[in-house]
Amino acid sequence: MKNFLISCVVFGIVFNHSHAASVDPKVIAGGLAWNPNINRTVLPASPEPKKLPKEESLTQAQRAITDKARRLSEISGNLGILLIQNGRIVFENHNYPSSENVQLKSWSMSKSLTAMLIGIKHCQGDIPDLDRSAESYAPNLKGTAFGKASVRDLLKMSSGAQKTTTRSGEYRMSAWREIAVTKTMTVDQYLHEFGIPQKTFFGQKKSGETYDYNNIDTIALERIITSTSRIGFIEEFNKEIWKKASPENFGVWLRDRDGNAISYAGFNATLRDWARLAILSQEFLKGNDSCMRNFMKSMTTRQINTDRTSFTHYGYQTWVASWNGRSSYWWRGHAGQRIAVDPDQNLIMVVSSWNDDYQSQIYEFFRNWQLNN
C-alpha cells in the first residue's frame, strides 16, 4: 500500500491540455495527506467542532436541487458534493475513495486561504500597507518581479512576472512533483528561478497592469506572512483560520524540504471542513471587524479582469462571478476542486473531483440554485 500511494503521488497527475485535467482519485482523496514520504504538518481537529446539522425537512425547491445534485454526484469524475444553506446541510454525497473522514486535496483552492490570511495579518498591523512592495516586507523577494510588485498586485495575480505557459499556473509542469515529492526544489528556488520581470515592447512590464495567473504570486504572499510573523505561515494559519473554523477532523499542510508551506496548492481537509472554512470566510465578510470586512469584500468582488471564459473577473486569489444578477465567489483547484459561496443567500457548495470535464454542469447547477432558491 505504501509503494502504491507513492506511485499515485508521483505519477497520478495527468494534464490533458485539449480538454480536461484529471488526477488519480487516490491522490486527491487522502493519497497526499496520509503519505509519510511527503513533508507535512498536521493541524488538529477542534475539541468543539462547528455544528453542521442536516436539514430534516426540505422545501420543494430544496428537493429539486438535491435531485440535480444527486445526478451530478453520479458522474464518474466526482468524489463528493456538499450543499449547505443557512448553515444546514441539504445534500451530501461521497464516492470512493472519498468519505466523510478523508482529507481532500485543495490544489489551487489553497490560494484563497493564503489571501484570507494576508487580510488577517494586514488588519492586525503586521502588513500595514497593501500597496507597499512585497520585498519591503520579505527581503528574500528582492531582485525578483514578485518582490517589486505590491502586496495588492500579488493578491490580484498581476505581479508583472513573466507569463506562464500553462493554464494551471505552473511555470514548469514538473514543479509540483519537484517541490512536494522528489524534494529536489524548494519554493524559494522556484520563485527565484522564474522571478525575472516580464519584458514588453516598451520595456519591463509593470505590476498591476495585467492579470497573469501563476502559482508563484501565491508563494510570494506566503513569504510575506512568514517574514512578518513570529511563528510562521502554518502556525498563523492554524491560529487565525483553522482553529476559528472549528473543524471536526484534522487538516494537513504539505511542505517543501525547507519546511515551507506549499501555499499555492498544498492544503488538505475533509469535505465538511472545507465547508467550515467557507463559512468562516462568510463570517469575516459579514463580521464586526471593519478592516477585515473591507478586505474580504475586495477579496470576493472584481478587482481585475481575467483571460478566462468561465470566470472573467478575479478578486484577491479568488474567482468571482455575477451570473443572472446573482453574485458568488469561488475557490477553484486543479481537476475540479470547487467551493462556491453566495453570501447574500447564504449558499455554499463544495465539490471534489478527480476529473474536471463536467465543470460546466457544476457552474450551471450553482446558477440554477441561486436563481431558484
Half-sphere exposure of 33 (CA within 13 A, CB side): 23
Residue 249 clears pLDDT 70, i.e. is over it: yes
pLDDT band with cut points at 50, 70 and 90 for residue 232? very high
- The pLDDT assigned to 6 comes to 36
Using a pLDDT cut of 70, give the percent of the chain over it: 93
> What is the mean pLDDT of the segment spanning 278-291?
98
Share of the chain above pLDDT 90, in %: 87
Whether residue 213 has pLDDT greater than 90? yes
Q: Which domain holds residue 337?
A: 2-372
Sign of the CA dihedral running 326, 327, 333, 338 = negative
Residue 9 pLDDT class (50, 70, 90 cuts): very low
Q: Is residue 200 very low, low, confident or very high in pLDDT (cuts 50, 70, 90)?
A: low
Residue 136: closest CA among 220, 261, 240: 220
Choice among 18-22, 28-32, 69-73 with the minimum mean pLDDT: 18-22
Q: What was the pLDDT predicted at 206? A: 79
**CA distances to 14, 96, 360 from 20, in Å:** 9, 21, 11
Whether residue 17 has pLDDT greater than 60: no
Q: 277 falls in which pLDDT band (50, 70, 90)?
A: very high
Q: What is the pTM of this model?
A: 0.94
Per-residue confidence at 165, pLDDT binned at 50, 70, 90?
confident
In angstroms, the CA 168 to CA 319 distance is 14
Q: What is the rounded average pLDDT of the residues 241-255?
A: 98
CATH number assigned to the domain comprising residue 108: 3.40.710.10
pLDDT bin (cut points 50, 70, 90) of residue 198 is low
For the cut 90, the answer to whether the pLDDT of residue 208 exceeds it is no
- What pLDDT does residue 204 have? 64
Who contacts 317 (Cβ-Cβ below 8 Å, separation ≥6)? 111, 112, 114, 115, 155, 157, 217, 218, 221, 299
The number of folded domains in the chain is 1
Instruction: Read off the C-alpha cell for 31.
Output: 493519497
Please say if the pLDDT value at position 4 is more than 60. no
Task: Assess whether pLDDT exceeds 70 at residue 18.
Answer: no
Residue 89: partners with Cβ closer than 8 Å, 6 or more residues away: 52, 53, 54, 55, 82, 83
Could you give the angle at the alpha carbon of 76 between the alpha carbons of 72 and 79, nearest 5°?
75
Report the C-alpha gap between 264 and 8 in whole angstroms.
Answer: 20
CB 193 within 8 A of CB 143: no
pLDDT at residue 65 tops 70: yes
Task: Give the pLDDT confidence of 84-115 residue by residue, as tens digits.
Answer: 999 999 999 999 999 999 999 999 999 999 99
Average pLDDT over residues 149-162: 96
Q: How far apart are the C-alpha atoms of 117 and 103, rounded to whole Å?
A: 21
What would the mean pLDDT of 42-50 be, rounded to a whole number? 98
What DSSP element (H or E) covers 269?
strand 267-269
Encode pLDDT of 308-359 as tens digits.
Answer: 988 999 999 999 999 989 999 999 999 999 999 999 999 999 999 999 999 9
